[in-house]
Amino acid sequence: MIFVKSEEEIDLMREPNRIVRDCLGFVEKNIAAGMTTGDVDALVYSFIKDNGAEPSCLGYCGYPASACISVNDTVVHGIPGDRVIEEGDIVSVDLCAYKNGFHGDGARTFRIGKVSAERDKLVRVTEECFFKGIEGLKAGAPLYDIGYRVQRHAEANGFSVIRAYTGHGIGREMHEDPSVPNFGRRGTGVRLPSGCVICVEPMIACGTWRVKVLPDGWTAVTQDGKSAAHYENTVVVREDGVEILTL
């Protein structure tokens, strides 16, 4: 069931989402070659705590960290640890904060120093896919129009859309209905109601869209070892358009 949030509830969601936005900005300023992914996770943990929120990911289904940190061929759910971030890497940081009884969720992919032309384009196109996805989005729009537009933009640029993971509704729970795929047929799916809050999060790969999950049970990598990127915002659907809570 898709929950419709009242204006009061949306107001309560602003703060956790602002913290997600600011935390991603803080990571962007501080992330650098030579740090480990665990170092980045520690920054995320303390930033969220210092802002009076809880890192929603920590302990979620047994997940052991505050952020998902996914380097190069890791698509999503990379577990932070002692991997050293290197010049030329692309690093996706996905994090959630819980405050006021609600969750906020966002992700960015950061370029570390000078990256290859292919990785540079991938990061740019993945971000563009988010904005294509929400183009024209407003109450009454068919859900799969989002994925249709994401997929069209990704594939027009020679990239592929990850199928195994999707965006989602968000609110009092980190994952609510509906599931928001990054692919689909135009004009299909439920009509999104005004006041629903969803995470639109393109995950785009240079090569195959097929992934495998490593034995840790979380880390999803591309089967061909080529790079992937991720970009996510929490979005309110309104009568006349959308309001992005994490920008």
Q: What's phi and psi for 2, nearest 5 deg?
A: -85, 120
Nearest residue (CB) to ligand MF3, 115 versus 245: 245
Q: CB neighbours (10 Å) of residue 118?
A: 13
Q: Per CB under 5 A, does 176 bind Co ion? A: no
In the complex, what is the shortest distance from the CB of residue 200 to Co ion, in angstroms, rounded to a whole number?
9
For residues 77-136, which are near ligand MF3 according to CB under 6 A? 77, 94, 96, 105
The β-bridge partners of 169 are 176, 198
Q: Segment near ligand MF3 (CB under 6 A), from 13-21, 61-69, 133-141, 203-211?
A: 61-69
With CB under 6 A as the contact rule, the residue among 43, 44, 68, 237 that binds ligand MF3 is 68
- The sheet carrying 203-205 orders its strands as 160-161, 203-205, 228-230
With CB under 5 A as the contact rule, the residue among 146, 154, 180, 199 that binds Co ion is 199
Helices (H), strands (E): how many in the chain? 4, 15
Question: 41 contacts which partner out of Co ion, ligand MF3, none, CB within 5 to 8 A by kind?
Answer: none
Q: Per CB under 6 A, does 199 bind ligand MF3? A: yes
CA angle 12, 202, 231 (to 5 degrees): 60
Q: Per CB under 6 A, does 69 bind ligand MF3? A: no
Q: Segment near Co ion (CB under 5 A), from 74-82, 101-109, 129-137, 190-198?
A: 101-109
Contacts of 61 (CB under 8 A, 6+ apart): none
- Which residue's structure tokens are 């302990």? 59
Q: Per CB under 6 A, does 164 bind ligand MF3? A: no
Contacts of 176 (CB under 8 A, 6+ apart): 2, 3, 168, 169, 170
Q: Per CB under 5 A, does 27 bind Co ion? A: no
Q: CB neighbours (10 Å) of residue 54?
A: 16
Nearest residue (CB) to ligand MF3, 195 versus 202: 202
Q: Per CB under 6 A, does 63 bind ligand MF3? A: yes
Enumerate binding residues for ligand MF3 (CB under 6 A): 57, 60-61, 63, 68, 77, 94, 96, 105, 199, 201
Enumerate binding residues for Co ion (CB under 5 A): 105, 199
